[in-house]
Amino acid sequence: NAGVTQTPKFRVLKTGQSMTLLCAQDMNHEYMYWYRQDPGMGLRLIHYSVGEGTTAKGEVPDGYNVSRLKKQNFLLGLESAAPSQTSVYFCASNLRGLTEKLFFGSGTQLSVL
Amino acid sequence: GNSVTQMEGPVTLSEEAFLTINCTYTATGYPSLFWYVQYPGEGLQLLLKATKADDKGSNKGFEATYRKETTSFHLEKGSVQVSDSAVYFCALNSGGGADGLTFGKGTHLIIQP
């Protein structure tokens, strides 16, 4: 059982480049989330999704877009990367109504130069 | 809005010492409270939880009691081990909403042999 899988694990971008982070879960979870983790800031919610075809903004959505075309996948896109987006990104998922059973991926470390 | 405040780190202790990591919260209603642990290079894992006032969550020798009167959920362990070195996050969820958990900034715990 793979759980929540994030790809890639590491990436270095130049300012202005674009990229997509992929999150895949094999637990049939309805809810999926993208967080970013920065030193001294903890985890902050970027976007989330309550089901296939639906997304919503979290606390820090600017500069990011997301898509949930398939229930098992949640994509996070950076159209024009900025150094302020250097961070560790975590995907998480849970069954509807069971936030206490939130499963996390192992993270993507992104550096924007 | 919801918020979680944790003691600043890093916290450095010797093996077998007593551990307390303070956590206080602000939330509407009656939130569920959680402690997550993040080992180096990994995603967050649920350590323990409490869903109502006076509940005590426990796991792997760690304990935390939901104190509504002081809006606190302090993490304790009687005798820490080197393997407990990690970052610990206090979090809350008010009402099982789809927007996930609100996390504290995290406390880095370092246990020295």
Mind listing the pLDDT tens digit for each residue in A10-41?
999 999 999 999 999 999 999 999 999 998 78
Mean pLDDT over each residue of chain B, to the nearest integer: 91
Q: Dihedrals φ, ψ of B84, to 5°?
A: -80, -5
Query: What 3-state DSSP class applies to A60?
Result: coil
Q: Evaluate the omega torsion of the peptide bond into residue B40 and state whether it is cis, within 30 degrees of 0.
A: no
Q: Are the Cβ atoms of A58 and B100 closer than 8 angstroms?
A: yes
pLDDT of residue B30: 83
Residue A100 in tokens: 């206490």
pLDDT of residue B89: 94
The answer, for B1 touching chain A at a CB cutoff of 8 Å, is no
From the list B42, B100, B106, which residue is nearest A33 (CB)? Answer: B100
- The answer, yes or no, to whether residue A92 has pLDDT greater than 90, is yes
Quick one: A95 exposed, middle or buried, by C-beta within 10 A (0-12, 13-18, 19+)?
middle
Q: Quick one: average pLDDT of B33-48?
A: 91
Residue B90 in tokens: 């206090």
pLDDT of residue A1: 60
The answer, for A102 touching chain B at a CB cutoff of 8 Å, is yes
| Count of all residues that appear for chain A in the document | 113
Q: What value, to the nearest 5°, has the Cα angle with vertex B86 and ends A39 and A100?
A: 85
Mean pLDDT over each residue of chain A, to the nearest integer: 92
When pLDDT is cut at 50, 70 and 90, the band that residue B17 belongs to is very high
Query: What 3-state DSSP class applies to A85?
Result: helix
Q: What distance in Å separates the CA atoms of residue B105 and residue B107, rounded to the nearest whole number?
A: 7
The answer, for B52 touching chain A at a CB cutoff of 8 Å, is no
Chain B residues in contact with A31 (beta carbon < 8 A) = 98, 100
Q: What distance in Å separates the CA atoms of residue A60 and residue A43, rounded to the nearest whole number?
A: 10
**Amino acid (one-letter) located at A102:** L
- The answer, yes or no, to whether residue A98 has pLDDT greater than 80, is no
pLDDT of residue B95: 56
Window 35-74 of A, Cβ < 8 Å to B = 35, 40-45, 48, 50, 56, 58
Q: Are the Cβ atoms of A4 and B49 closer than 8 angstroms?
A: no
When pLDDT is cut at 50, 70 and 90, the band that residue B98 belongs to is low
When pLDDT is cut at 50, 70 and 90, the band that residue B71 belongs to is very high
Q: What is the pLDDT of residues B42-67, one digit of tens each?
A: 888 999 999 999 999 999 999 999 99
From the list B43, B98, B100, which residue is nearest A105 (CB)? Answer: B43
Q: Quick one: average pLDDT of B7-36?
A: 92
Q: What distance in Å separates the CA atoms of residue A63 and residue B55, rounded to the nearest whole number?
A: 40
From the list A98, A99, A107, which residue is nearest B43 (CB)? Answer: A107
pLDDT of residue B97: 55
When pLDDT is cut at 50, 70 and 90, the band that residue A78 belongs to is very high
The answer, for B89 touching chain A at a CB cutoff of 8 Å, is yes
Q: Are the Cβ atoms of B105 and A106 closer than 8 angstroms?
A: no
When pLDDT is cut at 50, 70 and 90, the band that residue A74 belongs to is very high
